Amino acid sequence: MNERYSRQILFPGIGKEGQEKISRKHVLIIGAGALGSGSAEILTRAGVGKVTIVDRDYVEASNLQRQQLYTEEDVNEKLPKAAAAEKRLRAINSDVDIRGIIGDATAEMMEDLVPGVDLMLDATDNFETRMLMNDISQKYKIPWIYGACVGSFGMSFSIIPGKTPCLNCLLRTIPLQGMTCDTGGIISPTVQMVIAHQTTEALKMLVEDWEAVRTTFTSFDMWRNQYTSLKMSKAKFTGCLSCGEERTYPYLDLENRTKTTVLCGRDTVQIRPSSKGEISLEQLSGQLSRLGYTVKGNPYLLSIEIGAERMVIFQDGRALIHGTKDLTHAKSLYQRILG
């Protein structure tokens, strides 16, 4: 066994057999922001066989305070987080198969990705994606670990299909929605605490020590020195459409997926094209420059100044319109640029 994992192997909960199991596992992380980048680094350093990271955004200066994989160079180059994370993680551990996917975690994408996945980690910032992960988890019997944080407050819960309540069940009992880090701020130690909870539970699952997995819902406020652990077994709801006796997986339904949405806590609208396909960023850049637009870009995206707003277009035709929450206005700008 590789010497680099010797201290981890010495830990009785893992050992040589556990390390071998870790090296054969595939973890899917949705989101490469604060939680995603930190969790991906820990699992990569731990020697997980394959780590796939999905993220729709790019690195900005405000991320550097808490998103530990990224640098000022990534900000200057406007690198997509998934691409920047993949590059950094490969430099950290060449033993691990790292795949960064630039895009929105849609039902189609998730259905394509989950074969062979042993565990999913929630590192997203919105409940639409979390509920999608929840239904995928129940449909394919893949455990996943919920995590969220804002300010000095964080929470985590491990969801094991057939054993624990799912996220849809939890929402009937615990109010999980509220502020985001864009509206309530965030301190980095809060992020690190949630990462510690998520990745510890992940390692337990990866070595298949199911008896050690925490089944309580954990929340804490680091600033106010509060820590709570709630038993959730009674939260499981037999009529739940995601994990109940007559499940329908409602969040995988095409009609429940938005094409245009305001990003959580931000003056930014995301627009997804109605059909799959890639666009030529080089060709589009030339066209827009000739029309007088200020265009900057890299192999992954274009950034276009449009008056007081800024549009960032990715290869898959998806766009982020910064500076507005008006969906109609955002659609108009999108049509003007991409037709």
Q: Which strand ranges, in their side-by-side order, compose the sheet holding 26-30? A: 97-102, 50-55, 26-30, 119-122, 144-150, 153-159, 216-221, 226-231
Amino acid at the residue 33? G
Active site residue 240: no
Beta strands in 8-109 (DSSP E): 26-30, 50-55, 97-102
Half-sphere exposure of 175 (CA within 13 A, CB side): 2
Task: Give the pair of three-digit tokens for residue 173.
Answer: 């009992």
β-strands 319-322, 309-314: how paired?
antiparallel
Question: Which secondary structure element, helix H or strand E, spans residue 86, and what is its range?
Answer: helix 81-92
Helix/strand/coil for 251: helix
CB proximity list for 255: less than 8 A, separation 6 or greater = none
Candidate list 181, 240, 243, 264, residue with the active-site label? 181
* Residues tagged active-site: 181
